[in-house]
Each structure stands twice: as C-alpha cells, then as structure tokens.
Amino acid sequence: MDQTALITESDCCGNGCVNCVLNVGYRKTSNDNLEGKRNIISEYQKFRLSNKYPHSLMGRDDDNGNGVEVFELHFCVANLPDGVEDFALMIPAGYHVMMRQHLVTGLVCLRPYSPFWVDSLAMEFKILVNLAPCGQMSRFIIELKVGDFVEFRGPIGPDEYFSNTKTERNVFIITQGVAIAATIRIVQEILDNEEDFSRVFQLACYKDIEHAFFRDTLRDFNKYWNYKSHVYLAHQRCPHGMCKTAECTGECTWFQKQLLYKEKVHLRRFTDSELSNISKDLVGNGTESVFIIAGSNNFQESVTNIIKKSTLESSNTKIVLL
C-alpha cells in the first residue's frame, strides 16, 4: 500500500497489507495522569495548526528536479468535546498518526506521519514533513496556514516495540533522512527510564550534512551513559570544490567547522562493516538485540539484509520496521 493513499470512505484497500497504515491501536500507558482517560485521536479529530516553520530549507532540487522543503508542523486539538477533562492525546513512541484530506473528487487522501514530540494532557504534537510539490498531500501542506484545521486519527502501527526494564539489551536504531523523527521519542523513552538498562546505538543515514536532521538532539542524547550515535553522510560535497575531489574528504576547514563537539560523522554509506565495528561495544553474548529501522522500503530491505548477514542475527534478535 502506498504511503500516500487516495481511497474512498470505506478506507480499506483490500490488499491485506501486513503493516497496514489503517491499523489503529495503542499500548497501555504507565503515566498515572492518563489513567482512565479516553484517547482524543481514536477517531478522526480536527487539530489546529499553531505553528509552521522550516526545519531546514536546502535550496536544492531532488533527483526529479523538484524543490524539496522540510517543515516542522505543530498541531493542537480543536473543537474539544464535552467533558474535555476525560480526554488525552495518547500516541506511544514509534506510532504514527494519519492525516486526512478530502478532495473535490469525493476521494480522500491519507498520509501517516510520526510525531517526534507529544504533550498528552495539552493534546498537542509536532511532526516533521518532507514536502515534494508533486505530491497530493504535500501540495495541501504547502498551502496550510497557521490557524487552519487538519484531521488526524491514530495511533497507527503494530505493537512491536515496548520499553524494557531491569535487563540488558542492545537497541540499534537505524534511520534514513527525515524518518529519524519516528525514532526520537523511542530513544527519549529509553533514556528517561531509569529502570531500562538498554544500550542504544543510533545510526542516522543522510545525504549530506545539510540534510542531517535532529543533530542537536543526538548531541544531547550522547550525554547519557547508555547511548551512542553515528551519522553517515553518503554524498557530502564541499562548496567551491575545497577538497578538490568529487566527494568531500572530511578534512577540509569548511567541513570541520560544520561539526558539533565530539560528533561522530562518517563520510560514507552505512554498510555491514559499519555494523561489525559498532558491535564491538555490545553488552554480553546472548543479550537480546532489537533493530528499529525507519526509512523507505528499499532502505528497510537493505538494512534488514545487512543484519541477517551479520553475526548479530540470532534467535535473540528482533527487527522492527517503522
């Protein structure tokens, strides 16, 4: 099923998708403040756009010659029902929300997005959106203005990830581009849980440093004892050919000035050898390893094959696709 779906009100595409974007459900929450509350987003609910600003404006074109812009969108609930104190916004880490747009043709355009920030009691959330002008939903979002209303439903996704407690575990989070947004809250949930002894290895793959999202967030995560991040830039170039090569060497003055303090950035693709090097820091043999992969279908398939070919693949290995 295409991530952006034009469907009728019957919703189901009938293809029996394993990870259907319409699979709505959520785990129990341990937050006592949410005990007994109903989820405001379990049915389509209007949310007001309270802020819209560029996360990064590249000023470049994609492979099809279309300009690409990345925006952060901040939504808050609108038209609260009676008994608002009985409601909360419950979107577990790693889950998506479905944005719905009604078309003049009578069809409906649906697109799942992963909130990277949620305030459950205030019923607000933020998403990161990669816009391509040729996309139906992208055109809709480009025209959105602060104060406009948008319909969302959720949370969407299989119950495959859960917070761990009191046992050691290796958690690999491997992401492509803006898909890292889907994993930010997963990492935060692990690091904030003092009873979760997981070791987290975040491997963020980008085109170049100008397309590297949430670098400041990764820097803050690296202050925790059980977290390490690596950034991979597949096609880094220098302005004005400072490295005098087709690809940047990483040694030029311009590139060095782009780096954050102690930031681990590799000017190459993520490969099986990278996974082997990182695995040297794993906790004991036989410990459970969880791989959370977020990106395009091709990226997920490629990374899954790398994992299955590695020595880390075992009966104690779990792979979760976001």
Binding residues for FAD: 111-113, 128, 137-138
Q: At 283, is the secondary structure helix, strand, or coil?
A: coil
Contact between residue 155 and residue 24 where contact means Cβ atoms under 8 Å apart = yes
Report the C-alpha gap between 88 and 40 in whole angstroms: 6
CB atoms within 10 A of CB 151: 17
Q: Answer yes or no: are the C-beta atoms of 136 and 4 closer than 8 Å.
A: yes
d(CA 94, CA 63): 29
Tell me 31's DSSP state. -
18 exposed, middle or buried (CB, 10 Å; 0-12, 13-18, 19+)? Answer: exposed
Contacts of 283 (CB under 8 A, 6+ apart): 168, 169, 170, 199
Peptide bond into 158 cis (omega under 30): no
The DSSP letter of residue 80 is: P
* Peptide bond connecting 155 to the previous residue in cis, omega within 30 degrees of 0: yes
